Amino acid sequence: MRRRMLVGVLAALMLTVPALALEVGSKAPAFTLTDPAGKPVKLAEMLGKGPVIIYTFISAVNAV
């Protein structure tokens, strides 16, 4: 019950805070993501190897 309540509060906060958009050509903020194997990948490390293209997609999963 507490977990659902916490998730609800966090979701509400995320929806009320405006997202910051980047302008075309501006630098992306530093971030770290995990690759499919679970290894952390840092943007700064990737930039040291050359240009970086960030591709995202949304996956929809049916919850039953």
| pLDDT tens-digit readout, 2-61 | 666 666 666 665 555 566 777 888 888 888 888 888 899 898 888 888 888 877 777 666
Cβ-in-10-Å burial (0-12, 13-18, 19+) of 43 comes to: middle
Residue 62: its pLDDT value, please? 65
Residue 29's domain spans which residues? 23-57
User: Tokens 């910051």 appear where?
Assistant: 20
At 58, which amino acid appears?
I
Residue 60: its pLDDT value, please? 66
Is residue 38 domain-resident? yes
Domain count, the chain: 1
Closest alpha carbon to 9 in 17, 46, 62? 17
Is residue 10 domain-resident? no
Residue 52: its pLDDT value, please? 83
